[in-house]
A and B are shown apart, each in its own frame.
Chain A
Amino acid sequence: MKKRPYVLASGLALALAVTGCGGASSNSGGETTKAAQENVTPDQGEQEDGAKNNADRNISCTITLATWDVAASKTFDELDLEGRFQELYPNVTIDIEEFNAEPEYFNSMKIRSSASELPDLMFHKSDSMNQYKEYLVDLTDTAANKDNQIASEYAIDGKVYGIPDRKANDYVYYWTDLFDEAGVTVPETWEEFVQVSETLQQHFGANDPEFAAICMGAKDAWPTYPLMEYGPASESGDGYYWDYMTTEDAPFAKGTAIRTVYEKIFNLFQKGVLGADPLGVTYDQSRALFAKKKGAMVLNSPMFLTAYLADGYDPTGLETFYLPFRDSKDDAFNLVTQGDCFLTVTQHSENPEVAKAFLEFYFSDAWYPDYIASISSDSTMNSFPKELDPVLQTASKLQSDVSFVTYGAGESDFIRMVSETKFDCKELGVEMLTEGFNPDARFDELDAIWAEARSKLGL
């Protein structure tokens, strides 16, 4: 299996983008031959070892798979993804294009889409699929889709373009001994959560200026997402709240779910529970602080635990609970859950049948159970349920009665609105942490910008 780190390549792509220059080539497979393409024999849904046998088993070609998930790419290597696929297709090699980070990945893919050079298979986020839909193959009829729990919830115009290989909800990771020492218990409402954070900050922060009740790492902006991105969905119980907002002229008006939850978050930030300089600390630094118990809580997905353990930190005393946005214990406990890492087949593939066969293999018994067991996130496949890590299980033990809210990151109208208004919920979180932020004025301003953009876009 060939692995290609794409740091330099993405830099070059960026340079080409700035100069408006891109080459055009239809060969995405590298060693793919015309003869190989002609060997493709359509088959009607026969499935062997979990892989749909639509392509000639003796086909000789290379298929490319692009990912931003470095940890997953490492797992592909360790679990011998290529070797396992070659048991079905002995002459197919897999070229993994590995990017160090999600932004670089999508920057590069944008350039490549306009040059018709997308890889055969690529991973997507739920919102990016919408943008790339014209370049993606319809996967509605695949066995992988039919067995997947949530793929159909991310269908676009009734078509499934990507199969999520994991699903996850966010957790609040916390140190049990710090909670015990400060005399606080796991909160069940937002007010309790604020109170617990304040107590922790006062208890430990008095002697340690670097202590933060909540380790956020807001210098990177994105770590604010459990609050700023999931908050409106949780508050409203509507996972597609961003899409709803595109139908409103004043979505930030007083009393709306987003305004209500953002005011709650702003008030939390005002308590100083993110430490002395939350915007000066990166996510990596905040993780290190948390590991050193200079922080009591971290809000993040199961990927935090994967990375935390991979870094060699000790999880003893680490437990989780779900972040309660609700105001009262009588209210439903909304828990936002999201599919992630959607595997897609692109229309630029010279061997779409092989690429589809790979996708079927990926979600089959031949690969998926071992793979999903190696990461902390939950399985999306009905046939392969998974027992979560003990650290994550503590949350469901503490709060077993939750209402799952499936999150959608916004469809095409929302993407157009973001482009027009430059609204970025995570950056708004950073803004809330800056001195002098005036929530009323800012929300009024956002409403005005929003209404103007809607009118311009004809929504």
Chain B
Amino acid sequence: MNRHSKKRLCFLGLSLIIPVILLAVFVVYPFWELIYMSFLEWDGVASIRPFIGGANYQQLFFKSPEFWLAFRNNLTYLLIHGLMMPLELVLAVVLSSRFKGANFVKAVIFLPFIINGVGISYSFSYFFSPVEGGFNYLLTKLGLGSLIKNWLSDPKIVNYVLSSVSIWRYMGFHIVLFMAGLASVPEDIMDAAIVDGANGWQRLRFIQIPAIRTVIDFMLFDVINGSLQMFDIPYIMTSGGPNGASNTFSIYTIDTAFKYNNFGLASSMAVIMIAMIVAVQMIQKYITSRIRRKEGHYA
């Protein structure tokens, strides 16, 4: 090894050492601690932390209906966001076509995403309030007073109301991402398709969607991740209530740790959440790669 190579190696080693230390201290060690804590019985305060093996995991899976309810609520967000994706794509296609005021419309649609999530949650909390709430006022003015419901206190509808707020917040972001992807589709291919007589649906199905597959993959990752970790909107608007009906995984984890003083159980929930996200990503990757291979085979 000559002097130049040695220097290069030394430089590489030195420049990697800090990121590695940071990663070890702020990611690896806390994660290891989290896993370790999930096998302890600890109230978060006492100095004694008995090791109880997998009892926390056992309790979660077999003796915690609240855990499954929270999980189901997370899936509601995932389902509704997933259902909204095609609509977001269509809106992105419409907005990508040049028309007067397109930039203004784009800005308005993107605006909710840049507003603070806490602020949005508080605003909608008052919007759906039964006391001088804006939504009920609108319904009354439109002669639809009979449709008024207990928007945030009826367990049957509360998750859909909260999901709608989440949609309102993230829709603009998703549309802008789709638009960025659509902008990368070469215009000559689109023009050629038009000349060949392809209609709008065919252009979307056979040119635009395949071209923005990476964006769709990212969006799916974002939606899955965001839905499973949903916290601010339900926490501020309902605190997981009424009676846990809108609890999500994150709220339930925090309640378990701080309200019910069970840090061990809460840690096991955090580990499960990480495992779930990783598992879902792997499944998503497997499915998308299969689809790609299949399409490549027929192409």
Query: Which residues in A have some Cβ–Cβ distance to B below 8 Å?
Result: 14, 17-21, 103, 106-107, 110-111, 113-114, 131-132, 134-135, 210, 219-221, 276-281, 285, 289, 415, 418-419, 422, 424, 427, 430-431, 433-435
B258 touches A19 (CB 8 A): no
Q: Report the Cα distance A14→B258, complex, angstroms.
A: 9
- Cβ contacts B73-86/A at 8 Å (1 or 0 each): 00000000000000
Asked if residues A430 and B243 are in contact (CB atoms below 8 Å), the reply is yes
Structural contact, B153 and A280, CB atoms closer than 8 A? yes
CA distance A137 to B263 in the complex (A): 25
CB pair B131 A285 closer than 8 Å: yes
B33 — nearest CB in chain A belongs to which residue?
A: A20
Cβ 8 A contact of A221, one of B239, B253, B267? B239
Task: Report the Cα distance A433→B242, complex, angstroms.
Answer: 9
Let me know if B243 and A434 touch, CB within 8 A: yes
Contact B30 A431 (CB under 8 A): no
Which residues of the other chain, B, contact A285 by a CB distance below 8 angstroms? 129, 131
Complex A-B: 21 CB contacts under 8 Å: A17-B263, A18-B270, A19-B33, A20-B36, A111-B44, A113-B44, A210-B132, A219-B238, A221-B239, A276-B150, A277-B130, A277-B153, A280-B131, A281-B131, A285-B129, A415-B261, A418-B260, A419-B261, A427-B243, A434-B153, A434-B245
Interface residues in B121-139 by Cβ distance below 8 A to A read 128-132
Tell me if A's interface is mostly helix, strand, loop or mixed: helix
Docked-complex contact A280 and B152, CB < 8 angstroms: yes
Query: DSSP class of B's interface residues: helix, strand, loop or mixed?
Result: loop
- In the bound complex, do residue A279 and residue B150 qualify as a contact, i.e. CB atoms below 8 Å apart? yes
B215 within 8 A of A: no
- CB-based closest 4 A-B pairs: A279-B153, A20-B33, A19-B30, A277-B130
Known: A17-B263, A219-B241, A280-B128. 8 other contacts (CB 8 A): A20-B36, A110-B45, A113-B44, A279-B152, A279-B241, A280-B150, A415-B43, A419-B261
Known interface pairs A221-B241, A279-B150; A20-B30 also in contact (CB < 8 Å): yes
- Docked Cα-Cα span, A135 to B150, in Å, equals 45
Q: Which residues of B contact A431 (CB under 8 A)?
A: 242-243
Question: Shortest distance in angstroms between A419's beta carbon and chain B's nearest beta carbon?
Answer: 5
Which chain A residues border B45 with CB–CB below 8 Å?
A: 110, 113-114, 131-132, 135
B37 CB contacts on chain A under 8 angstroms = 20
Q: How large is the interface on B (under 10, 10 to 19, 20 to 34, 35 or more residues)?
A: 35 or more
**B131, A131: Cβ atoms closer than 8 Å:** no
B258's partner among A110, A210, A280, A289 (CB-CB below 8 A) is: A110
Known: A20-B30, A280-B130. A430 touches B241 (CB 8 A): yes
Give a binary string over B49-82; 1 marks a CB under 8 Å from any A CB, 0 the rest. 0000000000000000010000000000000000
- How many Å from the CB of B56 to the closest CB on chain A? 12
Indicate which residue in A210, A281, A419, A434 contacts B260 across the interface (CB closer than 8 Å): A419
Residue of A nearest to B27 (CB): A19
Q: Once the chains are docked, how many angstroms separate the CA of A277 from the CA of B158?
A: 13
Residues of A within 8 A of B238 (CB): 219
Q: Provide the bound-state CA to CA distance between A281 and B130, in Å.
A: 7
* B155 at the binding interface (Cβ < 8 Å): yes
Closest A residue, CB atoms, query B66: A422
* Given A280-B152, A285-B131, A434-B243, A114:B270 Cβ within 8 A: no
| A-contact bits for B142-159, CB 8 A (1 contact / 0 none) | 000000001111110000
| B 11-53 to A, binary, CB cutoff 8 A, 1 in contact else 0 | 0000000000000001001110110110000011111000000
- Min CB distance, B208 to chain A, in Å? 40
- Is the Cβ of B131 less than 8 Å from the Cβ of A210? yes
Q: Does B100 contact A (CB under 8 A)?
A: no
Pick the contact of B46 from A111, A134, A210 — CB < 8 Å? A134
Q: Which of B152, B245, B261 contacts A131 (CB 8 A)?
A: B261
- CB-CB under 8 A from A430, the residues of chain B are 241-243
Distance (Å) between the CB of A390 and the closest chain B CB?
30
B272 at the interface (CB under 8 A from A): no
CB-based nearest B residue for A285? B131
Bound CA–CA A219/B234 (angstroms): 13
Residues in B with CB closer than 8 Å to A107 are 258
Give the residues in chain B near A281, CB-CB below 8 Å. Answer: 129-131
B254 touches A14 (CB 8 A): yes
* Nearest CB on B from A138, distance (A): 17
Partner of B150, one of A14, A20, A277: A277
Bound-state CA distance A434–B150 (Å) is 11
Contact in complex: A419, B150 (CB < 8 Å) = no
Determine the distance from Cα of A424 to Cα of B262 in the docked complex, in whole angstroms: 14
Closest Cβ–Cβ distance, residue B172 to chain A (whole Å)? 26
Interface string of B162-174 (1 = CB under 8 A from A): 0000000000000
Give the distance to chain B from A335, nearest Cβ to Cβ, in Å.
Answer: 28
**Cβ contacts under 8 Å, A434 to chain B:** 153, 155, 242-243, 245
Q: Is B190 an interface residue (CB 8 A)?
A: no
Distance in Å from the Cβ of B7 to the closest Cβ of chain A?
37
In the complex, which residues of chain B have a beta carbon less than 8 angstroms from the beta carbon of A17? 44, 257, 263
- CA–CA, A434 and B155, complex, Å: 8
Query: Does residue B259 face the partner (Cβ distance < 8 Å to A)?
Result: yes
Please give, as numbers and ranges, the residues of chain A lying within 8 Å of B153 by CB-CB distance.
Answer: 219, 277-280, 434
Cα(A220)–Cα(B237), bound, Å = 10
Q: How far does the Cβ of B55 sit from chain A's closest Cβ, in whole Å?
A: 9
CA distance A226 to B152 in the complex (A): 24
Interface 1/0 per residue, B239-276 and A, CB below 8 Å = 10111110000000110011111110001001000000
Residues of A within 8 A of B155 (CB): 434-435
Give chain A nearest CB distance to B232 CB in angstroms: 12
CB distance from B32 to the nearest CB of A (A): 8
Contact (A103, B129) CB under 8 Å given A20-B37, A20-B267, A434-B155? no
| Distance of B58 from chain A, by nearest CB (Å) | 12
Contacts of A220 in B (CB 8 A): 239
Please measure, in the bound complex, the distance between the C-alpha atom of A296 and the C-alpha atom of B258, giving whole angstroms.
35
For B253, the chain A residues whose CB sits under 8 A away are 18
Smallest CB separation, A265 vs chain B (Å): 15
Complex interface: chain A residues within 8 A of B245 (CB): 434
B236 smallest CB distance to A (angstroms): 11
| Residue contact B243 to A21, C-beta cutoff 8 Å | no
B43 touches A419 (CB 8 A): yes
